[in-house]
Amino acid sequence: MLEEGKCKLIKIPWEILAPREVGKSCYFTPRKLIVFLTHHHYDHIDGLSVICKSNPDSVLLAHENTLSRIPKGTWSNGHVAISGGEKIQIGRQMFEAIFAPGHTDGHFSLLHLNTRSLITGDHCVGFGSAVLDVTGGGKMKDYFQTTYKFLELFPRVLIPMHGRINLWPERMLCGYLKHRRDREQAILEAIENGAQTLYDIVAAVYADVDIKLWIVASSNVRLHVDHLSYQDKLPKAFSLEKFQASSGIRFLLRWTVLHVKRNNLVAIKAFLAVGFVGLAFYLALKNKNCSKWMV
């Protein structure tokens, strides 16, 4: 919490605090709240309805792509669509809204100009790297550009929405760039060696990773392939249409079969149970509950 004069900035750990406690905090706030929303994922919007009821004068700031994806009834108070570069002064504290697409196409970060502290949303995470939301407009090209933008801002501190703050911004951001370049190169090499489907590429690139993470990783793989296509790096023999058709249920079925084999589950009941778990993971990803791992 940052408090000085009339400014109070609170990062609410929604997974820890009960809605009732958040409601109390908002209710006893004497002045109008300014709610800055980084993106539309469930773990970031779940408390909005409570804030609406507790502080009717509160105003929501978010990108129009984010506002359009918030379920109806989540926010009924005033809102302002922002596009990036807006200066927000609260008391003696000055902030700048930083458009930071990549994780989603409406993702925003917030720079505290007084201290050069960057609230990164889900672009940066406390452990591993962010999973980009392929269903929410996430793009690898945008992710790279946003990471470079963060470096150009010269922040002193990175404040992710998941995990601890980071006091070495350049090291973290450069590490993200290297990791994504290495992954993309590995994906390209897998394709050059004959991998044609999403499953084949994931199995080759993530062979040393627990298969439980393959479904989460598949989202970033799809976006890396799109990025390779954008750069015109894909081999001519590679069919982008075939690759795209191999995602979704086809990928999920092959993943489920492998999971069954590796765990020696021969009973049909067990097979269906694992398939259900896999489907749940896939639907969770589509519903924008993206886990954060080094994928």
Report pLDDT digits (tens) over 280-291. Answer: 666 666 554 444
Residue 27 has what pLDDT? 57
277 pLDDT above the threshold of 90: no
Task: Give the CATH number of domain 2-178.
Answer: 3.60.15.10
Identify the bridge partners of residue 159 per DSSP, sorted by sequence position: 119
Q: Name the more confident of 258 and 102.
A: 102
**Contact status, residue 150 vs residue 123, Cβ threshold 8 Å:** yes
pLDDT at res. 279? 66
Three-class secondary structure of residue 110 per DSSP: strand
- pLDDT tens, residue by residue, 124-149: 998 888 999 999 999 999 999 999 99
Give the other-Cβ count within 10 Å of 168's Cβ: 12
pLDDT surpassing 90 at residue 82: yes
* Residue-wise pLDDT tens digits, 153-195: 999 999 999 989 999 999 999 999 999 999 999 999 999 999 9
Contact residues for 201 (Cβ-Cβ < 8 A; gap 6+): 187, 190, 191, 195, 221, 225
pLDDT at 218: 96
pLDDT of residue 98: 98
Give the pairing of strands 93-99 and 87-90: antiparallel
User: Between these two residues, 227 and 275, which has the higher pLDDT value?
Assistant: 227
The answer for residues whose C-beta is within 8 angstroms of residue 41's C-beta and 6 or more apart is: 104, 122, 133, 136, 288, 289, 290
* pLDDT interval class at 56 (50, 70, 90): confident
Mean pLDDT across the stretch 198-222?
95
pLDDT at 126: 86
Instruction: Report whether pLDDT(273) > 80.
Output: no
Model confidence at 91, pLDDT cuts 50, 70, 90, reads confident
In degrees, to the nearest 5, what angle opens at C-alpha 140 toward C-alphas 135 and 143? 105
What pLDDT, on a 0 to 100 scale, did the predictor assign at position 259? Answer: 84
Cβ count within 10 A of residue 109: 29
pLDDT at 278: 65
**How much is the average pLDDT of 275-279?**
65
Spatial distance between the Cα atoms of 144 and 132, rounded to a whole number of angstroms? 12
With bands split at pLDDT 50, 70 and 90, how would you rate the model's confidence at 58? confident
Q: Which of 13-22, 47-56, 113-122, 242-251 has the lowest mean pLDDT?
A: 13-22
Q: How far apart are CA 143 and CA 130, in angstroms?
A: 10
State the average pLDDT for the chain. Answer: 86
Q: Does position 242 have pLDDT exceeding 70, yes or no?
A: yes
- Does pLDDT of 46 surpass 50? yes
Q: Tell me how far CA of residue 206 lies from CA of 165, 176, 242, 295, in angstroms.
A: 28, 17, 21, 9
Residue range(s) occupied by CATH 3.60.15.10 in the chain: 2-178
